[in-house]
Structure 1
Amino acid sequence: MEHLNKTTGLLIKNNSFIGSSVVFPYEGEFLCLTAGHNLYGKKFDQIPDLTEWRVSDYKGVLHTVSQCIGDVNFARENDIVILKLECNSNLELFHCPQFYTVSKNPAHSFFFRGKYETSKFPVTHTNLQFINLCQNNIHKFYCKIEKALLMNNIYQSGSDWLGGWSGSGLFLANHDKLICFGVMIEIPNKGNDGQLKFTSISAIDKLDVKLNIIESSALDFDNKLLASSVNSIFEQTDDKAISLWENDEGNKPQLDYIVDKLTKVYSDDRLEIMKRNAIRRLLVGKAFLYSELRKHEIIYDQYNKAYYAYDLDDLEVNANTRTEANSGLKQIKKEYEDYLISCLGDVLGLDDIKILSNYGISEWISNCSLSFIKDE
C-alpha cells in the first residue's frame, strides 16, 4: 500500500531498538502511537526518561520525543500511549491514516506492520481475522494469525524471538484508504495459540488528544472495500471458466433455455457472443451474490425480497420478430434495474446493482421465468 511505509516508526532507547509504532502528522503535530509497555516496561514499573528516546521513521531519520500522553496507570490498563515528537524533517513526507474502532465483521481481513528484533527491516503480515474482545477491557481484542508466521527458522514458536512487534499498527486489508484500528500489545501463550492481542484506537478517547475515530459499522458495506473483491470475480470469470460451465452436463438444461431464448432475440452471427455474455453474467452475479453480498445479511435479505417480488410479475415478451424481442428484453432489463435501484440504491453502488440486474435477467433467461411469445 502506497502510504503504509510512511506510518512505520521504530522506537529507539539509547541506540537500542525497543518496539514498533505508528507515526503520523495530525493537526500540525507529529504523533506516534505505540504500546504502553514499550515506554513503561512489561511490568509497568519504569519511569521513562524521554531524553533517552528517539523514533526512527521510514527514511531512517530520528525524531526526539517531547511528551508521552498517557500516564503509567492509563498505560497499565490499556497498554497504549501517544508520543509527541519533535519532527526533524518535513511533516508532508508522512501520512495520517484514518482511524476506526475495530471491525468485528468476519468479511474484513487485517494486516499489521512492524519490526522484530532480529529482522533488519519492518515486515508486513496479512490475513488476520478478529476473534473476540477481552473480557476485562473492551478496548483490547484478539486476532487470529497463521501460526507458522510465529515460528522461526528452527520451528520454535514464542514471543521472545519476535520481540519488537509490540506497537505495530493494525490496518484494514483490501481498501484504497489506509485505515488503522490500533496497535499490537502481546503475543499470548508465546504464539502457540496462533493469536495476537491488540489495543483499539478507541482507548485514546480517554486522553487529551482527540483523534477523529470513526465507528467501524461504517465499513460494513463499503463500496471501496468491495471493489477489489469484485475485480477479482471478474478476473476469475474468464473464457476458460465460461467454457467449463458450458461443457458441464449438469448445466445442460440451463444452457438449452439460454440458446432457445436468445435465438429468438439475436441473429445467428451474434448468438454465440450473446450466449457467452449471458453465461458470464450468471457466473459473475452468482459469485458476487454468494461470496460477497451474503456476508452482509441485511442487504442480502433486501436483495432477495426484491428479486422474488419482481419474479412474481408476468415476465413475458410478446414479439413476432427478433427486433421486437430485443426491444422487449431491453425494456425488462431497464425496468428491473430501476426497480433494484429503488430498493437498494441507498446501500449499493450503481455498478453493484448492474451486476445484480444482469444476473437476474440471465437467471430468468436460463430457466422458465422469462418467455418470448409470438402473437397469435
Structure 2
Amino acid sequence: MTYNLAEKYCVRIKSNGNTGSGVLLPGKESFYVLTAAHCLGKTLPNISDIVIEKQHDYTSDFRVITSIEIKEFNIEHDFALIEIDFDNEERLLYQYKLGRGVLSENEVKFCGYQGVSVNQYRPFTGKILSVSEDIGRFKITLAGETFDQGGEDGNYLAKGLSGSGVFIYRHNSPFLIGILNSVITDKAWNDDIDCCSIKHIEKYISEYVDLSDFESLKKWNENLERERTDREIEAFKKENSDFFQKLYRKNNVLYSDVSKANSVTAKQIRKFLAMKDNIRTIENDYPILYSNFKNIVKRFVDQVEDDYSRNVTESNEAINLKMDLQNQLKTQFEVLPNFTKLDLSEYQIIEWLGICTLNFVKND
C-alpha cells in the first residue's frame, strides 16, 4: 500500500445531521482527527454523537474509528480535535510530517467527501494564495478545476469538504499544514477556500518542520535519506546476506567514513537491482548481445583477481584501482550497441565487489 497520498489520511465525519471531512493526525501522546468545528454542529456535541469512518480506498466499505474525547472545539478559528483509538494502523500516521511556515504559490493537495458524493472521497489539487501566519490562517484556490459546475453553486458542490487535510509535498513526502474551513462566498468565486493551519494545535504535536526555513528542510531531507538508506540496506541484507556483506566490506575499505560507505552501498544496491532486471531483458530478447557481453566479462576475470584485487594502505588506492578497472571495461563495452542505455561497466563492478572477484582488504 502507498501511504504518502493525501487520501490515505482522509476520514468522513458525521455529527448531529452534519457530514464533513477530517484528517488523521499523530500527536505526542495519542492519535487524533482534526476537522472543522462546524462539521460537528453549532455547539459542542457529545462524543457519542460523533461517527468517524475511514475507507481503505474510494470503493471500499467504511470502517468506524472509535472516538474517545473532544480535545478542542474552537468556533472562532473553526477547528476541532478529536482523540481516537487508532492502535491497529499506527504506522500509517508516521508516514507524513507536519509543516509550518508555508509560502504563497506552493502547490497543495487535499481530499474529502463532497456532499454530492458523500460515499467516495475525492482528491483535489490547488495552490496557496496568501498566508496569515500570525492568526494561523491561509487561503488556497483550486488548480485546473472548479467547484462551479452544471449550474450548481460552488458552495453546494464544495459542501462536505470542510475539515479536509491540506498537504504540501517535499521530496515526495507529505506535510500536513492545516484543514479546509469553507469556500469563499456562496458561489465560491474564484474557487478560493479559507483554511486553518496547524498552529492552533501545536501543544498536541511532537514536532513539525518549518517549510520556510531552508536549513530546516535540508536537515529533514538528510535525515529522511539516512532513514531510507538504513531501510534499504536492512531489506537487502535479509535477502542477499552474503552478497551484501562482501559488498559492504569492500565499501568500508573504499570509504573510510561509515556514513559514506552506507550511502554508497544503498545506491549501489538500488542501481544493481534495477540494472539486473535490464540485463535479464537483454538475455531473453537479445541473446547474441548478452553472449558478447559475458564473453568480455569472462576475459577480464583473471586480470581482475590478479591485478586489481589486493591489500591497500589508503582508501584512495582502492578507489583509483576501481576507477581504472571500470574505465577499461567501458572501453571494451564500446563495441556493443549503446541502445541498452546501461552502464554495463558499473553493473559489472558492483557484481564483482559483491562476489569477491574484485577484492580489497585494508592493511591494519
TM-score normalised according to structure 2 size: 0.52
* Residue of structure 2 equivalent to 1:157: 153
* Residue of structure 1 equivalent to 2:63: 61
* Residue of structure 2 equivalent to 1:213: 208
Cα 1:28–1:90, aligned 2, differ >3 Å: closer, same or farther?
farther
How far the C-alpha of 1:102 sits from its partner, in A, is: 4.4
Deviations 1:80-105 (A, max 9, x none): 22110123744335445211114114
Say whether residues 1:79 and 2:78 are aligned partners: yes
- Contact kept, 8 Å, 1:100 with 1:180, in 2: the verdict is yes
Cα 1:102–1:144, aligned 2, differ >3 Å: closer, same or farther?
farther
- Using the alignment, how far apart are the partners of 1:133 and 1:97 within structure 2? 22
- Using the alignment, how far apart are the partners of 1:80 and 1:209 within structure 2? 14
- Using the alignment, how far apart are the partners of 1:129 and 1:122 within structure 2? 20
> 1:83-94 maps to which residues of 2 (within 5 A)?
83-87=82-86, 89-94=88-93
The one-letter code sitting in structure 2 at the alignment partner of 1:11 is I
- Contact kept, 8 Å, 1:115 with 1:123, in 2: the verdict is yes
- Contact kept, 8 Å, 1:105 with 1:220, in 2: the verdict is no
* Residue of structure 1 equivalent to 2:297: none
Cα 1:131–1:101, aligned 2, differ >3 Å: closer, same or farther?
same
- Contact kept, 8 Å, 1:22 with 1:168, in 2: the verdict is yes
> Could you say what the CA RMSD is over the residues aligned between the two structures, in angstroms?
3.0
Cα 1:147–1:52, aligned 2, differ >3 Å: closer, same or farther?
same
Alignment gaps of 5+ in structure 2: 57-61, 222-364
- Contact kept, 8 Å, 2:13 with 2:21, in 1: the verdict is yes
Of stretches 19-28 and 115-124 in structure 1, the one that deviates more from structure 2 is: 19-28
Q: Tell me the secondary structure at the aligned position of residue 155 of structure 2.
A: coil
- Using the alignment, how far apart are the partners of 2:67 and 2:31 within structure 1? 10
How far the C-alpha of 1:13 sits from its partner, in A, is: 2.9
Number of residue pairs aligned between Structure 1 and Structure 2 = 212
- Contact kept, 8 Å, 1:202 with 1:213, in 2: the verdict is no
How far the C-alpha of 1:202 sits from its partner, in A, is: 1.1
Say whether residues 1:114 and 2:109 are aligned partners: no
- Contact kept, 8 Å, 2:15 with 2:39, in 1: the verdict is no
* Residue of structure 2 equivalent to 1:269: none
Say whether residues 1:50 and 2:51 are aligned partners: no
- Using the alignment, how far apart are the partners of 1:79 and 1:118 within structure 2? 23
After the TM superposition, which parts of structure 1 deviate over 3 Å for at least 4 consecutive aligned residues? Answer: 24-28, 92-96, 219-226
Cα 1:204–1:150, aligned 2, differ >3 Å: closer, same or farther?
same
Cα 1:102–1:124, aligned 2, differ >3 Å: closer, same or farther?
farther
How far the C-alpha of 1:77 sits from its partner, in A, is: 2.1
* Residue of structure 2 equivalent to 1:130: 128
Q: Tell me the secondary structure at the aligned position of residue 161 of structure 1.
A: helix
- Contact kept, 8 Å, 1:56 with 1:63, in 2: the verdict is yes
- Using the alignment, how far apart are the partners of 1:220 and 1:189 within structure 2? 39
* Residue of structure 1 equivalent to 2:293: none
Deviations 1:225-265 (A, max 9, x none): 99xxxxxxxxxxxxxxxxxxxxxxxxxxxxxxxxxxxxxxx
How far the C-alpha of 1:40 sits from its partner, in A, is: 3.9
